[in-house]
Amino acid sequence: MGVLSVVMVLGEYPMAERDQQITVSEHPHLITAHQLFLRAHFMFVERKLERGLGLLRRCLQLEPRHPEALLQQARLYTDMERYTEAAGAYRDAQIHLPYRFEVFKGLFNCYLAQKRYAEAQAICTLTLRHFQASARCYILFGRTLFSSGNPSIKKTARKFAQRALQIDANYMSAVALMADIYELEGNTGECLKLLEEHTTYHPHADFFVQMGNMRMKEQPIKALEYYYKALDMNPKSLGALPGINSLKGSSLDIVLIAGIKRSTEDKQPIVKPEFLGTDCIDSLSSLPNAGEAVSELDASSEQMWQDVDVDMVNLNTSF
């Protein structure tokens, strides 16, 4: 069973599913809750959500407090846009997993998707109190605020980003949010300084693309260098290729361009692609109607975010 778990983690899902089926068919009486969870996770990866949900129900019948199964069930409901059931599943998980940030994050997103703004405010405040030392918590709500169409609400995102960076200066999502805030404010210098410092030790293709976009007009050679660094890290970068193509019509020396490409290839370390789960993104982008939810939130509950902002300030003064 341990080997099967490793295979699942490494992403060899077809092999794991085949071995799992053999185990179940030969020894049906020996099947465990964890085996059912692994099969359900495979179904989730393959987007066979109904089958995955059925397997998770069987898993929880055998082991009602299986932590990952409780969370996965809620995620499946969310992906199926069954937000009422997802919220119920997250509340069940909260009973057994009050220490897991994913539970609070999931509840918050479900409430927003259902336009239950009072509950969203309550869970937001509760989360800030429970996870005062979690950068992820501040960025989740900071990114939500930054997505707002209301300028007064959008401005409050800065405090969340700053607090997250105080907790973890290298947290990528916090750096990304702060860079977006600087860029929105027109503070290109501070934005570039932040991203250059971060990419020195923690390079990321998206940050190189963002710096390339900012340098394109005034320093096209430098912009091109950033784009090639992004491509070295991620050959499928959606931002780097358009950036390079837009510079083709400029008066750049083709020999110099080739030299930049070679130099970046020599200097850039090889970075293996990572498998990113849904929890790696602390925003609302995974919700189908996220934009609509935030838009209506702007119109109906500005006071909500003011209360959350005040609560965050009160928490900060306690440190």
Q: Hey, what are 94's tokens?
A: 């909260």
pLDDT score at 21: 53
Which tokens sit at 63?
């082991």
Domain count, the chain: 1
CA–CA separation, 22 and 7 (whole Å): 15
Residue 154 in any domain: the answer is no
> Which domain covers residue 31, as residue numbers?
1-98
Question: The domain spanning residue 29 has which CATH number?
Answer: 1.25.40.10
Low-confidence ranges of the chain (pLDDT < 50): 1-10, 13, 16, 19, 22-23, 253-256, 263, 265-285, 299-301, 310, 317-319
In a domain, 42, yes or no: yes
Residue 94 located in a structural domain: yes
**Residue 47 is assigned to a structural domain of this protein:** yes
C-alpha span between 106 and 70 (Å, rounded): 12
Residues 40 and 69 sit within 8 Å (Cβ to Cβ): yes
Tens-place pLDDT, residues 86-96: 999 999 999 99
Domain assignment present for 128:
no
Tell me if 32 is assigned to some domain: yes
With respect to residue 87, please indicate whether it lies within any of the assigned structural domains: yes
Whether residue 33 is contained in a domain is answered as: yes
Rounded Cα distance between 119 and 111, Å, is 6
Q: For the chain, what is the largest distance between any 2 Cα atoms, rounded to a whole number of angstroms? A: 72
pLDDT at 279: 36
Structure tokens at 38: 């692994």
Amino acid at 287: L
Q: How many CB atoms lie within 10 A of CB 304?
A: 18
Residue 127 CA to its chain's centroid (Å): 17
CA gyration radius, the chain: 23
